[in-house]
Amino acid sequence: MKTEISDLAIFGKPPAFNEKLHVGRPYIGNRERLMERMNAMLDARWLTNRGPFVTEFERKICEITGAKHAVAVCNATIGLEIAIRAANLQGEVIIPSFTFIATAHALQWQGITPVFCDIDPKTHNIDPNKVEALITPKTSGIIGVHVWGRPCDIKALTEICERYNLKLLFDAAHAFGCSYEGTMIGNFGSAEVFSFHGTKFINTFEGGAIVTNEDTLAIKARLMKNFGFVDYDQVVYLGTNGKMDEASAIMGLTSLESMDEFVAINCRNYYHYRQALAHIPGIELISYNEAEHNNYQYIIVEVDEKVTGVTRDQLVEILHAENILARRYFYPGCHQMEPYRSYFPHAGLLLQETEKLASRVMSLPTGPVISTEDIDTICQIISLVVSWGRENRSDLSSQLSNWAGMQARLAHV
């Protein structure tokens, strides 16, 4: 336990953790069941092309979400691209800039212009009140993003789309197992796209799924993910290779069997963080709506540097020195990344809340490899730094500069 500011690794002391604590270490599930299924796949010699495990995985997704169709894909980015084409989006599509870059790329890759909308600082999601001003004759739709698994204002976005005859999709990468007004995510808009990347609490090594209640969209998505094949040697539609393989589906099925356990671990960690961070000035943990289903997958805090005396970036740097790999999300915003920074150099003028949030949000380690004792240590270090930062604002920057210089010198040894 580090009780004095001089105990910190930035002052040359050993880090709090010998091994690095990551934000998203993989959840594994029951290894015996995983290997049983893998052996069955190998015995059957059916590795891909919508085998029995992919079919079962899609069925399980439908059971959990209550949606009519689930189309498993090789990753969520391809899933977004296919859903966008299946919904016939074109021209301009309104999205938040506070999202993973794939949301924007899935549009731009297909020659569709992402139009960045500001967010609600309370929800971190796209602000419906800012959407209508961005609608032009070229606008064909809106893609909302359920950031941290907390759903967008789906009702407001749906009303806007109905009023302007626009399509509505959702990037639900964070939101598997979550609900909105009692209905599971996966049932809104024309389609929602889940991510089952290795960092997600339900993973398929790498993968995703397009979930929809629209029959025609599901048919198009199935054709597109398999080159447009409708039969053994008959292509009837333009397509790509977006198939999920059997091994990935096996990992997904094994993950789903432990889903309740994984959510319980996430929930335990969340409430422990909430208790341990509650007394630290200027550190605010985001909250989840306890009336809804949540996966509690992300531990997100906002750092108010006016109160803490330490910036988010300084705190991240200090934690990294302790082998606590806190992360900035979604820094610096899609509009500040290429090619969008060059395409829309003045976009930030309309994205003031996005830029403020991107400068103060931090994600902390969680998941099955993080114990409550680890959480206590992480929060104790944050508390120590904030207490010191509030009294020694000028000294902190110089100490961090010295530490950064030392790390740079060591890197060249």
**One digit per residue, pLDDT tens: the chain, 413 residues?**
898 999 999 989 999 999 999 998 899 999 999 999 999 999 999 999 999 999 999 999 999 999 999 999 999 999 999 999 999 999 999 999 999 999 999 999 999 999 999 999 999 999 999 999 999 999 999 999 999 999 999 999 999 999 999 999 999 999 999 999 999 999 999 999 999 999 999 999 999 999 999 999 999 999 999 999 998 889 999 999 999 999 999 999 999 999 999 999 999 999 999 999 999 999 999 999 999 999 999 999 999 999 999 999 999 999 999 999 999 999 999 999 999 999 999 999 999 999 999 999 999 999 999 999 999 999 999 999 999 988 776 566 666 666 555 555 555 54
Amino acid at 45: R
Residues in the chain: 413
200 catalytically annotated: yes
Domain limits, the chain:
5-23+259-326+365-411, 31-257
Q: Which residue has the tokens 């929602």?
A: 192
Terminal Cα distance for the chain, rounded: 31
Helix axis angle, 393-411 relative to 372-391, nearest 10°?
A: 120
pLDDT of residue 243: 98
Among 357, 203, 192, 362, CA closest to 295: 203
Name the fold adopted by 5-23+259-326+365-411.
Aspartate Aminotransferase, domain 1 (3.90.1150)
pLDDT of residue 410: 52
- In a 13 Å sphere around the CA of 171, the CA atoms on its Cβ side amount to 30
Q: Is-contact 110 218, C-beta < 8 A?
A: no
pLDDT of residue 166: 98
Rg (CA), the chain: 23
Strand partners, 208: 73, 195
Helix axis angle, 52-65 relative to 31-44, nearest 10°?
A: 140
**What distances in angstroms separate CA 100 from CA 105, 157, 236, one per listed residue?**
9, 20, 33
Among 340, 331, 335, 332, CA closest to 109: 340
Catalytic residue among 2, 167, 200, 243: 200
Separation of alpha carbons 360 and 11, rounded Å = 24
**What distances in angstroms separate CA 78 from CA 109, 144, 145, 324, one per listed residue?**
11, 17, 16, 32
pTM of the predicted model, to two decimals?
Answer: 0.94
Residues in Cβ contact with 402 at an 8 Å cutoff, skipping those fewer than 6 apart: none
Top-tier CATH class for 31-257: alpha beta
Residues in Cβ contact with 341 at an 8 Å cutoff, skipping those fewer than 6 apart: 335
Strand partners, 36: none
